[in-house]
Structure 1
Amino acid sequence: MGKMIYVPTAGAQSWQALLADPTKQWPTGYSARTLAHCWEAAEGLPPEIAALFGSDTELLIAIPEHKVSLRDTGRESQTDVFALVKSSNRTIAVAVEGKVNESFGPTISDWYVDASLRKQQRLAFLCELIGTECPPPGDIHYQLFHRAASAILEADRFKTDDAAMIVHSFAQDRRGFDAYAAFLDLFELAAEAGKLVSKTLPHGRTIHFGWAQGDPRFLSL
């Protein structure tokens, strides 16, 4: 379980200390630094994020590098930004994954090689939670599973109406979009940049997915 007491940031630089590797992950042009400057500059939600949800969307709170327990003894899922958002009188627990040129990490096949019992149990839990078959296709990226699960788990914890997983990308060539689209295909959803798509899960929770294209000016800050 991560820390339960949070303090306001003092600007983008405050985000650096929260990273798993504050030195390696903070160079100019990398997603962590770019995302921090973008969100700190916004009065509320960055416009490309707000556009996904609609004109009446309001940011209630945003927490950088938010750790979410996956209900086992393994490593927590560290969400780049966790936000509570109000849209059309519904509250939404939003897990944001920032990207520039970074990949979504290992595929299920790579992550699951010689899987321990703990990994087997974790994957089964994630698949059940997000409503996909287990084991899932091996070419889907593991990070997308635990990031979507984080949104659902926090929606349950905060008792919000919906959950959402958003990729906030600053890559000008939309690198990683195909991986995101392949993940959405598991839900029989068609991925489209700048558009929110939704799925009602077997347990009744609605989860939204979106790909937001970030402003490239933050890449140089």
Structure 2
Amino acid sequence: MAKANRIYIPSSGPSAWKQFLAEPEKQWRTGYSARTLAHSWEMSQGLPLEVARMFPNESELLIAIPEHKVALPGGGRESQNDVFALIRHGDLTCASMIEGKVNEPFGPTIGDWMKEASQGKLNRMTYLCDLLGLPVRPEATIRYQLLHRTASAIIEAKRFKTDEAAMFVHSFSPDRMWFQDFAAFVHLLGCSVMPDQPAEVRLPDGMLLRLGWASGDMSFLAA
């Protein structure tokens, strides 16, 4: 596998995000998550307020990288995260993955993803469970995307040697579609969650993992 380029350049605005999408012409549409998220983050000139509220102290965005890919064992497909953000709050630094949503689902369930699973998929699932401190494979109804997005945050927290990791869903859905799927995933990790109220999980190695559902400014749906 070719090594990813590690050189990044400043964004010229929301439209600059389009080029990094897996399917730009399909995904870059008004009212859809990719475009809505880009406008929200660019117009915030830092952290969107609803994401900043996920932290107990005053927070600062250090750097944000759209469509950030994180390699996972057990196959060639990486986890392509909507935004990777290094966030400073108080005296701590947090490696955060942001998953943007409007009405799009979280992709296949674990049951669907593991049908006739290859050895690579079995290896990946074992790795994800170990990283998240899960003693057994999650039930079939849990969304696979939530596992690997959260794992991406933990992997990058270790790589950048930050104090914490976080995975936030930045939702622009008026009806909070798919929140129950997110809540089921958080419950799997041992705690409960409400919209716009962060949850905290202590990982097996002692690192703090923050999880949250941040309700975005729906005016960006028209951007």
Question: Is TM > 0.5 for Structure 1 vs Structure 2?
Answer: yes
The whole-number CA distance in structure 2 between the counterparts of 1:107 and 1:16 is 27
Aligned residue number for residue 85 of structure 2? 83
Aligned residue number for residue 196 of structure 1? 198
The whole-number CA distance in structure 2 between the counterparts of 1:66 and 1:59 is 16
- Large movers: runs of 4+ above 3 Å: none
Is the CA contact (8 Å cut-off) linking 2:74 and 2:119 kept in structure 1? Answer: no
- Deviation per CA, 1:153-212: give whole Å up to 9, x if none: 000000000000000000000001000000011112111111111111112111110100
The whole-number CA distance in structure 2 between the counterparts of 1:84 and 1:15 is 18
- Deviation per CA, 1:95-125: give whole Å up to 9, x if none: 0000000000000000000000000000000
Q: How does 1:130-209 map to 2 (within 5 A)?
A: 130-209=132-211
Report the CA distance between 1:36 and its aligned residue. Answer: 0.2
Which sections of structure 2, spanning at least 5 residues, go unmatched? Answer: none
What's the secondary structure of 1:129's corresponding residue?
helix
The one-letter amino acid paired with 2:61 is L
Q: How does 1:52-63 map to 2 (within 5 A)?
A: 52-63=54-65
The whole-number CA distance in structure 2 between the counterparts of 1:85 and 1:169 is 19
The whole-number CA distance in structure 2 between the counterparts of 1:3 and 1:189 is 37
The one-letter amino acid paired with 1:161 is D
Instruction: Supply the RMSD in Å over aligned alpha carbons.
Output: 1.0
Aligned residue number for residue 14 of structure 1? 16
Equivalent pairs, count: 221
TM-score calculated relative to the size of structure 2: 0.97
The whole-number CA distance in structure 1 between the counterparts of 2:137 and 2:49 is 37
Which sections of structure 1, spanning at least 5 residues, go unmatched? Answer: none
What's the secondary structure of 1:149's corresponding residue?
helix
Choose from 32, 50, 53 the match for 1:51: 53
Report the CA distance between 1:41 and its aligned residue. Answer: 0.1
TM-score calculated relative to the size of structure 1: 0.98
The one-letter amino acid paired with 2:198 is L
The one-letter amino acid paired with 1:92 is C
The whole-number CA distance in structure 2 between the counterparts of 1:148 and 1:207 is 9
Report the CA distance between 1:72 and its aligned residue. Answer: 4.3
The whole-number CA distance in structure 1 between the counterparts of 2:135 and 2:191 is 15
Is the CA contact (8 Å cut-off) linking 1:2 and 1:68 kept in structure 2? Answer: no
What's the secondary structure of 1:24's corresponding residue?
helix
Is the CA contact (8 Å cut-off) linking 1:123 and 1:134 kept in structure 2? Answer: no
